[in-house]
Copies of this chain bind each other. A is one copy, B any other.
Amino acid sequence: MDWTEGYIAIDWGTTNRRAYRIDVNGKCVDEVSDGRGVLTLAADDFPSVVAATRQRLGDVPMILAGMVGSNRGWRETHYIDCPADVATLADSVLWIEPERTGIVPGVAQRRGQPDVMRGEEVQAIGAMASGALGGAELICHPGTHSKWITMQEGGIVSFHTAMTGEMFALLQSRSILADQMEGTAVDGSVFRNAARASLAGAEPLAELFGIRARALLQQGGSQDAASLASGLLIGADVRAALRSRPSAKEAPIALVGRDDLCALYAAALHEAGRTSLFIDGSQAFLAGTAALVEKL
């Protein structure tokens, strides 16, 4: 098959997937998203799900990225090492069917602090390839596991993962703070004061109990507890990222992800004296798969 005649690119995550139909001109002409993330599927289910996607979007080659290549996905791809660029990723695509259905490998950092990613690497190289990064050297993907990726000379140099979103969810659903943290985290003075505290070196572990104490002492309602916890955690996440990767202070930091989360990270980055730019995740993914497909 010939990729220049168009293809399907699928961003296949843990709980959701999104498939894009790219035409002969490299333009996205159709897309579908659904809840058939890898955790909802057995390994045996993938061929039929993929066949249905082709029926819907066209019988063309297909490039898949994300958790579909994990040990809980369709077929496990290995991790390629940092530094990783478009060429090294394209070279390591795992072919389910040669030249027709391939899975992009993940990226690993084996030296220093070990780390892994699956999916964010495509958006990162796409953001760089499309010029969307501007002068940014650091990309942040907020989420359950925030990824902070340092980019240089066309590729991923290093990265680290922070468990910020997962920690927030555990606190909100399972901790002694659950009763207070019912609301949604929003940007505002509560969020920013908390973020500033963490940016200045306060430790969330030692600050979070204040949420419970305030409630017991009737010093504050529950309505802003989620924002307070979020500010503490995101502030600490940003502190760690800026501490471990001193990029040029004037360079913006690129945010890719859910709008609400990116807004909170931008607010915390602002409090740290840094500017942000927002990159559309779908556009970055499509730019990344387009760059990969060119090298296949």
User: Does A114 reach chain B (CB closer than 8 Å)?
Assistant: yes
* Any B CB within 8 A of the CB of A164: yes
A59 on the B face (CB < 8 A)? no
Which residues of A from 84 to 110 have beta carbons under 8 Å from B? 108-110
* Contact digits for A204-247, partner B, Cβ 8 Å, 1 yes 0 no: 11111110111011010000000000000100110111011000
Closest beta carbon of chain B to A237's beta carbon, Å = 6
Contact (Cβ within 8 A) A213 B115: yes
**Interface contact B175-A166, CB-CB below 8 Å:** yes
Contacts of A163 in B (CB 8 A): 175-176, 205, 208-209
Q: Chain A interface: which size bin?
A: 35 or more
Contact (Cβ within 8 A) B115 A205: no
Residues of B near A243 (CB, < 8 A) are: 201, 203
Chain B residue contacts of A244, Cβ below 8 A: 206
Nearest chain B residue, comparing its CB with the CB of A198:
B203
Any B CB within 8 A of the CB of A202: yes
Interface flag for A249 (CB, 8 Å): no
Taking a contact as CB atoms under 8 Å apart, the answer to whether A205 and B116 are in contact is no
Please determine whether B114 and A203 come into contact, CB atoms closer than 8 angstroms. no
A217 contacts B110, C-beta separation under 8 Å:
yes
Query: Is A206 in contact with B241, judged by CB distance below 8 angstroms?
Result: yes
Supposing A108-B217, A170-B170, A175-B170 touch, asked if A205 and B162 sit within 8 A by C-beta, the answer is yes
Copies in the complex: 2
Residues of B with C-beta under 8 A to A209: 115, 145, 160-163
Instruction: Give the residues in chain B near A145, CB-CB below 8 Å.
Output: 176, 209
- Cα of A19 to Cα of B214 in the assembled complex, Å: 31
- Indicate if the CB atoms of B162 and A166 lie closer than 8 Å: no
- List, in ascending order, chain B residues with CB within 8 A of A206's CB: 160-162, 236-237, 240-241, 244
A113 within 8 Å of B by Cβ? yes
Give A144 to B164 CA distance when docked, in angstroms: 20
Q: Are B237 and A203 interface neighbours, CB within 8 A?
A: yes
Please report the C-alpha to C-alpha distance between residue A143 and residue B244 in the assembled complex, in whole angstroms.
30
Query: Nearest residue in B to A219 (C-beta to C-beta)?
Result: B114
Chain B positions within 8 Å of A57 at CB level: none
Task: Decide if A167 is an interface residue (CB 8 Å cutoff).
Answer: yes
Contact of A116 among B167, B171, B204, B216 (CB under 8 A): B216
Residue of B at shortest CB range from A197?
A: B113
- Distance A99 CA – B62 CA, assembled complex (angstroms): 81
Some 13 contacts from A to B, beta carbons below 8 A apart, are: A79-B216, A79-B217, A113-B210, A114-B210, A116-B213, A161-B206, A162-B205, A163-B175, A163-B176, A163-B205, A166-B175, A205-B237, A206-B241
Q: In the assembled complex, how far is the CB of residue A204 from the closest CB belonging to chain B, in whole angstroms?
A: 7
Q: Which residue of chain B has its CB nearest to the CB of A170?
A: B170
Q: Which residues of B contact A240 (CB under 8 A)?
A: 202-203, 205-207
**In chain A, residues 130-161, which have Cβ atoms closer than 8 Å to a Cβ of chain B?**
145, 160-161
